[in-house]
Amino acid sequence: MNQNELDKLFRTKTRSERYYLENPGAVSSVYQNLEQKQVKGKTVLHFYLPTLKETEILIRKDSRFTSVPDHVHSNLNLNFIYSGKCDYVIDNRPITLYQGDVVIFDKDVIRRKLYAGENDIVINLSMSNEFFDNGFLRQIGEQSILSHFMLHVLADGNDTHDHYMVFRAHKNPVISTLFCQLFAEYYDGRLYSKEMIQGYLHLIFVELLRLYHDEAQDTLVQISSGQVQSTMEILFYLEHHFAFCTLEELSGVFGYHPKYISALLKKQTGKTFKEIQLDLRLKACLRLLEDTDRPVQEIFQEVGAGNQNFFYKYFEKNCKKSPSQYRKEHRIDAPYAFPKA
């Protein structure tokens, strides 16, 4: 399926859409028999997809010419704005997304979708909790402390499921292209389609995380929990100022008491400020060892390791080898990229 065929598929009116056009203001009869659920003291529709556990991924186009009342899903849900715009009310907050934008909803996020016109095409991608929680997505989280935390927020093992993320991705053509390739693969249903779709989703999540890293000021990422949002902002700052940052500096930047920041980081990430800082220093050190020939002591100084003896021992404990040995095995021009078995 090429792009023109995909576009024609999405723009062709379904039976439901023709019904809504012929009966303005009508709502789906499905809602009458749909299970309801109490979330945060509010009775909302509960969308449940019984076949999702088996298929792991389901993709469908949201119906146009109608609205969807307050609802939640039984699974992680991603909406991609293929065309036009979409007006949501998420946790009583109005949010408009435009072509190319992405929103990821956890299971218990209450949202309402307002009326969608002919050009307002939203593609709904549902993922089973098992699919999102498996190893290939967890690998993404190892790239940085921030990405690890963002994925932890949405993981099935988390205690709360009322988080959502909005990515203003409409200026990133790569993300839109990847989504279209994923949709074409899904509707073609060719051999190894599942593996291809997983690959595209992996790339999409990486691009979304990269977008936040590179353009945090221009890319709104909203998470419903205030503490989670604050933690993300602090982690983002730490990733750029980890070398010599202190709790007192964070206190001045974010307006919280140092003890509050310390407790918040421990609660939300499971690590202390010092543990997070050491992790970031180590990752920066590894990159410099791989990419440069600079002396180890100079690299230690650059990443903020004032006590070099302590950091040397920390390095050996975590990497199971000395910095010199690591460099020898992982330099980009090394004879082999991975240590021998």
Q: What is the pLDDT of residue 180?
A: 97
Q: Is residue 315 part of a domain?
A: yes
Structural domain total, the chain? 2
Radius of gyration of the chain measured on its C-alpha atoms: 23
Sign, Cα dihedral of 265, 266, 270, 275: positive
Residues 251 and 208 in one domain: no
CA distance 1 to 222: 34
Structure tokens at 37: 């659920």
Q: Is residue 336 part of a domain?
A: no
Residues 311 and 291 in one domain: yes
CATH number assigned to the domain comprising residue 234? 1.10.10.60
Which of 184, 214, 244 is at the close of a domain? 214
Q: What is the pLDDT of residue 132?
A: 59
**β-strands 85-90, 111-113 pairing:** antiparallel
Q: What is the pLDDT of residue 152?
A: 64
The Cα angle at residue 33 between residues 28 and 36, in degrees rounded to 5: 100
pLDDT in single tens digits along all 341 residues of the chain:
999 999 999 999 999 999 999 999 998 989 988 999 999 899 999 999 888 888 888 999 999 999 999 999 988 889 999 999 999 999 888 999 999 999 988 888 899 999 999 999 999 999 886 665 555 555 565 566 666 666 666 665 556 677 788 888 888 899 999 999 999 999 998 899 888 998 898 899 888 878 877 765 555 555 555 677 788 889 889 988 999 999 999 999 999 999 999 999 998 888 999 999 999 999 999 999 999 999 999 999 999 999 999 999 999 999 999 999 999 998 866 544 444 33
Residues 241 and 301 in one domain: yes
As beta bridge partners, residue 58 has 126
C-alpha closest to that of 214 among 184, 172, 165? 172
Which of 169, 190, 214 is at the close of a domain? 214
Residue with tokens 């095995």: 329
Residues 205 and 296 in one domain: no
Q: Is residue 318 part of a domain?
A: yes
CA distance 67 to 93: 16
As beta bridge partners, residue 71 has 45, 111
Sheet with 164-167, edge to edge strand ranges? 57-61, 121-127, 76-83, 102-105, 164-167
Residues 151 and 20 in one domain: yes
Sign, Cα dihedral of 181, 184, 185, 190: negative
Q: Is residue 338 part of a domain?
A: no
CA distance 160 to 162: 6
Q: What is the pLDDT of residue 167?
A: 87
Residues 148 and 247 in one domain: no
Contact residues for 297 (Cβ-Cβ < 8 A; gap 6+): 308
As beta bridge partners, residue 108 has none
Sign, Cα dihedral of 22, 17, 95, 4: negative
Region of residue 270 (phi > 0: left; psi between -120 and 50: alpha; otherwise: beta)? left
CA distance 158 to 269: 11
Cβ pair 231, 209 in contact under 8 A: no
Structure tokens at 83: 């065309």
Residues 151 and 34 in one domain: yes
Q: Is residue 308 part of a domain?
A: yes
CA distance 125 to 105: 11
Which of 182, 214, 246 is at the close of a domain? 214
Encoded amino acid at 128, one letter: S
Q: What is the pLDDT of residue 88?
A: 96
Residues 41 and 113 in one domain: yes
DSSP characters for 54-107?
HHSEEEEEPPSSS-EEEEEESSEEEEEEEESEEEEEETTEEEEEETT-EEEE-T
CATH number assigned to the domain comprising residue 183? 2.60.120.280
Contact residues for 216 (Cβ-Cβ < 8 A; gap 6+): 236
Q: Is residue 79 part of a domain?
A: yes
Residue 101: domain span: 3-214
Structure tokens at 206: 């990486």
Residues 174 and 251 in one domain: no
Q: What is the pLDDT of residue 5?
A: 96
